[in-house]
A and B are shown apart, each in its own frame.
Chain A
């Protein structure tokens, strides 16, 4: 049984890694009370997806997708890179907005710990 699974496991280890990183990010978002840490968790989550995309396009022994004279050369799929470039921009903007919000929250409440925020809101 395990022998049958192992090749697949190793062949697609990049995907497993992506999922593991993703779950770490998700854990941080849920378990951490600090709003900055939540944003870091979000970033980890997003990065995992980027890795997932990029690694999917890779071909062992492939070159960069540049037009060469050799018609038999193997090149990696460029499209996911382009897509992820866009996605990175989106992620950066999200992070920027998130951090801006955290700063404003800190100015307004004097704290960025979630449990303290909830306690303050409950008091009002």
Chain B
């Protein structure tokens, strides 16, 4: 009985959880964390159940209120969103655990209930995006998650977090408007909002300018949401001034769900037949992604603040995902989707580490990290692993996605992108190695010697999620066949066999 309702449960649960957290917060602030934690853990278990169901019986369809599609809202879960759901909820669980110790030092104590409430609302939004099979529903959930994200960014103690949240809000709303416009255009021409239905009705209309305009609106809107270079301007400040746990959520959950929406619209609503053969948009996409990869890396090199550096590195890494998708070869798309998991794991780990440095020593600048490996050995070791993964050194996860994307680029004869991927590995090495050199091979600077020598590895609540993610960087690299088992059926489904 319950098993039939899993898809909707994964959305309703955090919504209820948010409400309960708010109420409990009035009674006692200490209740908020356990409630939020329990909610995300249960959700994670549900998502695993859903994924295993999908893997056994194929895509799940759930009709909300028993209205049959295309009239009612349908929730559809296939391998792709099953996979994305598991990834983001995994990160949500870890972030929630991490936030228990990290947030009290970064936001006012009386805002703790608000923090967990909004966090669960954000989870509601992203899970909704992940499960829905209806375009307008997707827009609504996108806005729920974005609104929650604006609020979370603004929770930071530094006043600049307010301004960066405002910028984020304006950019995010504009992008949502573009998406809404795209949905409107599609609806006017086809009269349906169900993704599967759209995919069925659209092909005869591929020549229509209205459809092409709608497509462009979608691309622009989602490009802003995923901070595709050069539309990334809101991202560095939003990442830099948020509380650590929020940065982790933004960089792993929110950005990944944007990419998911993009993949969904590109490959399920508009089929490869449209995006590859009707208008040569993928070509443009690849070049944009290549610009993101190189541009993001170059900007990251020049940063002095650790979190900002990681933020620009995110811009670059999102480029990898989009490049994989843009090449539209089955191997490259596999690599792109795999990189959703990989980047979430690596960047989540890195931002947690940046947060740990702030927590333990208050240090934000890379230069001040000199010699910190001696006093925070485990944190520094996790950084090395995650950084090696970002550079793409085997056998870490980062190498695996690069391997697939580069192989896909080779297979489709696009040599230039192979070179872009490989060259950017070097750029990535430059800025990560700078940090490693500071942490391990330098004496503490005179100004920060005191803070560095008294810094300690953060409490277990923060350390454990960090180390779990660092271990995941290696484990998923060695046992890469596990995520591949999930991704490959989807890719074969949309692009045909390899």
Please state if B162 and A101 are interface contacts (CB–CB under 8 Å): yes
A56 contacts B162, C-beta separation under 8 Å = no
| Residues of chain B within 8 A of A102, CB atoms compared | 166
Chain A CB within 8 A of B169 CB: yes
A46 / chain B contacts, CB cutoff of 8 Å: 173, 177
Q: For the complex, count residues of A whose C-beta is within 8 A of B.
A: 29
Across the interface, B173 reaches (CB within 8 A) one of A42, A86, A104, A108, namely A42
Q: Mark B148-178, 1 if CB is under 8 A from A, else 0.
A: 0011001000011011011001100110110
Is B275 among interface residues, defined by CB-CB distance under 8 A?
A: no
Which residues of chain B have C-beta atoms less than 8 A from A79's C-beta?
187
**Residues of B contacting A29 with CB < 8 Å?**
170, 174
Q: Which of A97-114 contact B (CB under 8 A)?
A: 97-98, 101-102, 104-105, 108-109
Beta-carbon contact of B147 and A93 below 8 Å: yes
Asked if B163 and A121 make an inter-chain contact with CB atoms under 8 angstroms apart, the answer reads yes
Chain A residue with the shortest CB-CB distance to B188: A56
- Contact A52 to B169, CB < 8 A, known contacts A105-B163, A121-B163: no
Chain A CB within 8 A of B305 CB: no
**Residues in chain B near residue A49, CB distance under 8 A:** 177, 180-181, 184
Asked if residues A52 and B181 are in contact (CB atoms below 8 Å), the reply is: yes
Q: Assuming A53-B184, A80-B187, is B174 touching A105 (CB within 8 A)?
A: no
* Closest-CB distance, A78 to chain B (whole angstroms): 12
Main SS at interface, chain A: helix
Query: Could you tell me how many residues of chain B have their Cβ less than 8 Å away from some Cβ of chain A?
Result: 25
Among A35-91, those with CB < 8 Å from B are 35, 38, 42, 45-46, 49, 52-53, 56, 79-80, 83, 86-87, 90
CA A97 – CA B155 in complex, angstroms? Answer: 12
Q: Which of A35, A90, A104, A121 gathers the greatest number of chain B CB atoms within 10 Å?
A: A90
Query: If A94-B143, A101-B162, A101-B169 touch, does A42 touch B188 (CB 8 Å cutoff)?
Result: no
Q: Name the one of B160, B169, B174, B177 contacting A97, with C-beta atoms under 8 angstroms.
A: B169
What are 22 residue pairs bridging A and B, where the CB atoms are less than 8 Å apart in the complex?
Answer: A29-B170, A35-B166, A45-B174, A46-B173, A49-B177, A49-B180, A49-B181, A56-B188, A83-B187, A87-B180, A90-B143, A94-B147, A94-B169, A97-B150, A98-B170, A101-B150, A101-B162, A102-B166, A105-B159, A108-B159, A108-B162, A117-B163
Listed in ascending order, the chain A residues whose CB lies under 8 Å from chain B are 26, 29, 35, 38, 42, 45-46, 49, 52-53, 56, 79-80, 83, 86-87, 90, 93-94, 97-98, 101-102, 104-105, 108-109, 117, 121
